[in-house]
Structure 1
């Protein structure tokens, strides 16, 4: 059975979040087309996502120096244990869906904290003589995002650093097949918001129905 990890990074309810409404449409369509898929939902605002703080960095240093896990403090063991759980969960999934808003050209900081739990040397990527190599090849990801303004064209074109950051990190760990659905201009009046949401929902339905069809997806969304 394949596994889809559905990751949301929004503090508001689905009723008050365009990105989550689009994400819901994607998930409903995908699961209808793929009834044997196991969906694991991860709400980052509700989960325990450790930061890479002094406890974690010190603990990694101790383990790297040959000390045992039992030598770590209770706090260090707890944080590293949780990071290991999240890393293993990410590695075990076949498909990833990230649902986020744009905040100040990026994404909520909890998503950066989560990224730091799966971008782990020796697990999801490795260093070689010719540079880093991602270890999660063959997996696919989708980024569903809502933005207040327009960043695909015009004066702010190219300033969607949240989408580019996520794609860069995923590519770094070997997930190079990433498709974005972005509802732009949600804060630019009711008419524009409705138009963008409707277009994103249609894209989500189409993407979900064709995500696992080789070759077809690139033709549709390229």
Structure 2
């Protein structure tokens, strides 16, 4: 089994999403001996943003192909996706732009778009400074709906979230949010076994 571990937080050792992805990957590897893990840190080694003038060749095509091949080869993808300004990080968006490739991960036909990256499982470690899963701020959540939509467009329907919310609402709230998220990881992985 191949697992792709992607982190996108700029906070390094202070990152909640990085801690959650590490816990998810460790638990997954312990539950599935022999899992081959590929790691990509989108903050330490950022990808160029996909915005070329018409007719120009992509000078980073080789790296883009490597990113796409990592995604295509993976059975399981664990993504650290902190919420930045109600959405995802620009580094994660750059990664998504490199894996959303017509003819490779999606196609268009007479019936409209069709996702080609079927059979993959994605586990997203989401960290949020406030509470966005419910209440008045829920209308500002452009992180989780976007990730579900774009992955669904690519054909990935097995998408699960491990969420730590309210991590900027005080130390006690942060500790409880992280503890709850970590506690849910083993149950999430057992459910799929």
Q: TM-score range by the shorter chain?
A: over 0.9
The question of whether the paired residues in 2 share the 8 Å contact of 1:5 and 1:93 is answered with: yes
Q: 2:43 aligns with which of 42, 45, 53?
A: 45
**SS in structure 1 of the partner of residue 85 of structure 2:** coil
Q: What aligned pairs does 1:182-221 form with structure 2 within 5 A after superposition?
A: 182-211=163-192, 213=193
Q: 1:83 aligns with which of 45, 61, 64?
A: 64
The question of whether the paired residues in 2 share the 8 Å contact of 1:143 and 1:163 is answered with: no
Residue 120 (structure 1) aligns with: 101
What is the CA-CA distance between 1:107 and the residue it aligns to? 1.3
Higher helix share: 1
What is the CA-CA distance between 1:153 and the residue it aligns to? 1.3
Q: What aligned pairs does 1:18-57 form with structure 2 within 5 A after superposition?
A: 18-54=16-52, 57=54
What is the CA-CA distance between 1:205 and the residue it aligns to? 2.5
What is the CA-CA distance between 1:158 and the residue it aligns to? 3.7
Q: Give unpaired runs (5+ residues) of structure 2.
A: none
Misfit runs of 4+, over 6 Å: none
Structure showing greater Rg: 1
Residue 55 (structure 2) aligns with: 58
Q: Which TM-score applies when normalising by structure 1?
A: 0.82
**SS in structure 2 of the partner of residue 99 of structure 1:** strand
Q: How large is the RMSD of aligned CA atoms in angstroms?
A: 1.5
**SS in structure 2 of the partner of residue 157 of structure 1:** helix
Per-residue CA distance 1:160-214 (angstroms, 9 max, x = gap): 2111111111111110110011101111112211111110001122223333x3x
Q: Distance in 2 between matches of 1:11 and 1:176?
A: 28
**SS in structure 2 of the partner of residue 104 of structure 1:** coil
**Number of residue pairs matched by the alignment:** 193
Q: Distance in 1 between matches of 2:40 and 2:48?
A: 14
1:168 and 2:149 matched: yes
The question of whether the paired residues in 1 share the 8 Å contact of 2:114 and 2:153 is answered with: yes
